[in-house]
Amino acid sequence: MENLLANSSEPRTQPVALHGAVLRLTDIEKVYQTKTIETVALNRVNLTINRGEFVSIMGPSGCGKSTLLSLMGLLDEPTSGVIEVDGRAVTSFSDRELAGLRNLKIGFVFQSYHLINDLSVVDNVEVPLLYRPGMGSKERRKRAVDALDKVGLSARTGHFPSQLSGGQRQRVAIARALAGGPEIILADEPTGNLDSVMGEEIMGLLLDLNRQEGVTVVMVTHDEHQALKTERVIRFFDGSQVG
């Protein structure tokens, strides 16, 4: 398996393919309601993410970026509006169907990695494959090792998260997101906890994944510099798309 890190410094090429919308959000509203107060987190958002795109979402804290990412990742339900994945509206999907869809189509990368400390690196990467019906342990292990190979950590399979640096942990998290062969990777400030050198390394990895594997990437970031490396920047302010 090709090591993507090795190519991260090369000039960018065009995305592999653009075959229509992989994610479409129509008239999405998300309102958080307590007894006394109603907070509009997202206000009539219309957004299409095309297959093979690398999109970054920017905006100040509290503008609804992470809420948007949760909705795109089918981790949360909108108050109103329609989310379509591969052209299918998921509004009426049961929890079980949503879980299945997440497992097959979506990989997550979090700012604070969220690795399971009790599991070794390779066991962490296997987590999405545990929920893949009918997949045996050998196949899981092979895919996990392949994914770790892609992020340049195949030598660390037996390590535990506590034995790795921040950058390495995020690479494990990316390998985990990749292991299930998702169409979309949703990254919530993936470089937010890293210094600039490691941040560049992770960004390069995501760019290469997008470019070479054709994986659609949606990244929430505060970092203008990183955002500008992506094909499209969507800006949010107070729950609304402003650019």
Partner 1 sequence: MLLSYLKIAWKVLMRRKFFTFINLFGVSFTLMILLVVMAMFDQLTGNHAPEKRNDRMLFISRITEKMRGEDGWMMNPVSSYFTDTYVRPMHTPALVGLTSIVSNATAFTSNKLLPLDVRYTDGNFWQIMEFDFRSGRGLTGAEVKQAAPVCVLNEATALTYFGTTTDVVGREIEIDLKRYRVAGVVANVAAAHLFSYADVWLPCTLSKDYGGAGRLEGSFIPILLAPSAGQVQAVRDEYQQVMARVPISDPKHITNLYSNADPIMASISRELMPMKHGLDGDGLAQFYLICTALALLFMLLPALNLVNLNVTRILERSAEIGVRKAFGATGTHLVSQFLVENVVLAVVGGLLGLGLAAGALALVNESHVLAYANFALSGSVFGWALVLALAFGLMSGVYPAWKMSRLNPVAALRGSGEQK
Per CB under 8 A, residues contacting partner 1 are: 70, 73, 75-76, 95-96, 99-100, 102-104, 107-108, 110, 114, 116, 118-119, 123, 126-128, 130-132, 137, 176, 180
Q: What are the E-state strand segments in 51-122?
A: 54-58, 80-85, 88-89, 106-109
Q: How far is the CB of 172 from partner 1 (least distance, A)?
A: 12
Q: Residue 83: which of 47, 52, 40 has the closest Cα?
A: 47
Q: Which is nearer to partner 1, 97 or 224 (CB)?
A: 97
Taking the least distance from each CB to partner 1, the nearer of 8 and 70 is 70
Q: How far is the CB of 36 from partner 1 (least distance, A)?
A: 18
Cα 51 to Cα 5, 107, 113, 241: the distances in Å are 23, 14, 25, 21
Shortest CB 26 distance to partner 1, Å: 21
CB of 110 to partner 1, least distance (A): 7
Residues whose CB falls within 8 Å of the CB of residue 225, separated by 6 or more in sequence, listed in order:
none
Q: φ, ψ for residue 140 (rounded to 5)?
A: -60, -45
Burial of 197 (0-12, 13-18, 19+ CB in 10 A): exposed
Q: Is the Cβ of residue 134 or residue 243 nearer to partner 1 in the bound state? A: 134
Nearer to partner 1, 59 or 180 (CB): 180
